[in-house]
């Protein structure tokens, strides 16, 4: 079969590889759609935790082509999407609903071969049958939306809180929709591209700013106490470094964007203490695949753009 193989950092080739065969409890998926994630770019660059060689691809949908021995729920011909999470289910984190922090964490397409190929093998328990009217393209967005669901759960946003979001790419657009539907009052978005900001306004942003306008925004907000919530979706250390300047006392900063593993920023411990700040992260997904699928199926998300 054809597959994209990342052989080493910054070296990826499309070539023939042996097709996988489903073992006991496994399902063979014929891939129909596979998203390209920012994490895939980090894997390509060599600054993620992935081994090489690796077939990437963790946002995908397809059709069940074959099943291994002992499978009962999944049948050939089903239209499906796949939760890429590989949690051990036995460590202290898994046993306390923190599977994304699993001591033996793995993910299809991140630590084992994924879906940038004609076929991929996955555990049966990771497979979800699609609603009859959900397209394969929409289904490939379930995993990204599952990341957003985890972020919203982490934030515990209170109705009417003001939010400032940096980065209006694909994940930023999904977060804008989720935050708008989860109780945000003012929802401001910053980006470097006007077309992305225009889309953010359609998705629920109440105001948008080009990155060059941030000094004006900062000056206006300081007199009003800053934002209750600041969300980073850029993963850029130089941008993250500035974001606490916008955070109100008692506010929360959410690190959603994936920064390089060796990146550093400077933060004042006194400011954290004095302002009652809450600094949190949101890593991948955490048993949020089914809620994400339901959210899309209900028509709450516009993923087509």
124: tokens are 């049966």
Name, in order, each residue with C-beta under 8 angstroms of 212's C-beta and a sequence gap of 6 or more: none
Which of the residues 42, 150, 203, 287 is marked catalytic?
42
Look-up of token digits 């539907």: 181
57: tokens are 């691809």
Closest CA to 5 of 59, 52, 39, 74: 52
Asked if residue 172 lies in contact with residue 200, where contact means CB atoms within 8 angstroms, the answer is yes
Look-up of token digits 């954290």: 272
Asked if residue 98 lies in contact with residue 52, where contact means CB atoms within 8 angstroms, the answer is no
- Find the helix packing angle between 194-202 and 170-181, rounded to 10°: 30
42 is catalytic: yes
50: tokens are 């992935």
CA distance 219 to 230: 16
Quote the Cα angle for 127-172-279, to 5°.
95
Closest CA to 203 of 232, 166, 172, 231: 172
Which of the residues 39, 71, 111, 208 is marked catalytic?
39
CA distance 238 to 243: 9
39 is catalytic: yes
Catalytic residues: 39, 42
């Amino acid at each position: 079969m054809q597959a994209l193989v990342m052989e080493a950092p910054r070296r990826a080739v499309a070539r023939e590889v042996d097709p996988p065969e489903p073992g006991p409890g496994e399902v063979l998926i014929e891939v129909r759609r596979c998203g390209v994630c920012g994490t895939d770019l980090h894997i390509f660059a060599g600054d993620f935790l992935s081994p090489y060689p690796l077939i990437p691809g963790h946002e995908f949908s397809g059709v069940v082509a074959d099943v291994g021995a002992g499978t009962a729920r999944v049948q050939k011909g089903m239209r499906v999407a796949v939760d890429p999470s590989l949690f051990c289910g036995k460590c202290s984190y898994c046993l306390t609903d923190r599977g994304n922090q699993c001591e033996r964490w793995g993910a299809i397409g991140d630590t084992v071969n994924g879906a940038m190929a004609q076929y991929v093998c996955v555990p049966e328990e990771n497979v979800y049958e699609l609603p009859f009217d959900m397209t394969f393209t929409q289904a490939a967005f379930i995993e990204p939306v599952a990341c957003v669901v985890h972020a919203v759960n982490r934030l515990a946003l209170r109705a009417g809180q003001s939010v400032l979001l940096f980065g209006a790419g694909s994940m930023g657009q999904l977060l804008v929709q989720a935050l708008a539907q989860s109780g945000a009052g003012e929802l401001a978005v910053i980006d470097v591209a006007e077309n992305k900001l225009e889309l953010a306004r359609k998705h629920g942003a109440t105001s948008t700013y080009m990155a060059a306008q941030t000094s004006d925004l900062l000056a206006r907000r300081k007199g009003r106490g800053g934002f209750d919530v600041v969300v980073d979706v850029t993963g850029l250390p130089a941008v993250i470094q500035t974001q606490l300047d916008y955070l109100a006392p008692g506010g929360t900063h959410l690190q959603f964007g994936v920064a390089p593993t060796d990146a550093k920023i400077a933060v004042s411990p006194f400011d954290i203490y004095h302002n009652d700040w809450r600094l949190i992260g949101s890593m991948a997904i955490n048993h949020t695949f089914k809620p994400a699928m339901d959210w899309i199926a209900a028509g709450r998300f516009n993923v087509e753009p």
